[in-house]
Amino acid sequence: MLPIIFSCAGTTLSEAERKLFTRCQPAGFIVFKRNCETPSQTKQLTDALRDCINQEDVPILIDQEGGRVVRLDAPHWWPAPAAVSYLQQTSDLMEAARLAEADAKRTADQLIAVGINVNCAPVLDCPIPDADQVIGERAYSSSPQEIITLAKAAIAGYQAGGVIPVIKHIPGHGRALVDSHEALPVVDASVQDLCDRDFLPFQALAKSVPWAMTAHVIYTAYDTERCGTISPKVIQEVIRQHIGFEGVLVSDDLSMKALSGDVVTKVRDSLAAGCDLALYCDGNLADMEILANSIAPVKPISFPPNIS
């Protein structure tokens, strides 16, 4: 198994993509809006991806958070509202949680219908007032306890629908002052501040989910040079030990501009730091060919079950 999650360029697999995926056996796939036009076409695409791996339960991922981060959109799909909306609809936290769980279940039903079994949600980041809006409405709240309650409900909804949720962006993207799609955020908060706020939602829900996604953020209290995705110290001391996450750790998209260097270096650095899987989202065939020829295969991961 190649320890990379790959993507494809369009709405159908090209013959070159099909041959590459069959030969290199990636750990899974991720789909985007560019890949999903209608329910029937999307199901045909996910079926084709599964055929390459010849494995029924191969992970096929998507970012279907709700709000502005959706890949399956109207008119063919119902997109959930943004995470922030639940406490805007009602001041009753338990009622907000019921709404979040129901919407997550509805989202899961739509994903399963088109062959997608892993959703890169919910967002557990806890934003500060002057943070970049890359998180913004994607966060349930600025209160760790409210995030825990609402995210726990969403996790239950996804799992009830048979979809594996991926908590992100561990150990926390809420203090980032720049968008990691465009630049590398540097967070100078103290260990105490991070532990008292940013890490709390992840710590509370670490045992509730089998997958988590890293943050391309430098936390100077732990590593002044490497962001969380490629920092052995952050992954081992913070994510694995302090937060206690024991499941599958996948990098955030290694195509993002927060990381410098060529794609092979990015993948190698993330895996060497402790990520189980590297996420490559561009769908560039030439890059994927290079990665398939440069990254050593590993024994197949025993993916944890969908915890419920």
Query: CB neighbours of 71 closer than 8 A, spacing ≥ 6?
Result: 31, 32, 33, 35, 36, 62, 63, 64
Pairwise CA distance, residues 270 & 157, whole Å: 30
109 assigned to active site: no
What one-letter code names the amino acid at 86? Y
125 assigned to active site: no
Neighbours of 90 (CB within 10 A): 13
What backbone torsions phi and psi does residue 236 show, to the nearest 5 degrees? -80, -50
**The two three-digit tokens of residue 215, written as one number:** 């943050």
Q: Residue written as tokens 């260097």?
A: 261
Question: Are 29 and 59 in contact, with CB atoms under 8 Å apart?
Answer: yes
Q: Where are the alpha helices (DSSP H) in 68-224?
A: 86-89, 93-113, 144-160, 191-193, 200-205
Dihedral (Cα; 63, 69, 73, 74), 10-degree rounding: 160
Q: Residue written as tokens 């494995």?
A: 55
Report cis status (omega within 30 of 0) of the bond before 171. Answer: yes
Selected catalytic residue, list 252, 253, 269, 287: 252
Selected catalytic residue, list 181, 188, 196, 262: 181
Question: Among all residues, which ones are annotated catalytic?
Answer: 181, 252
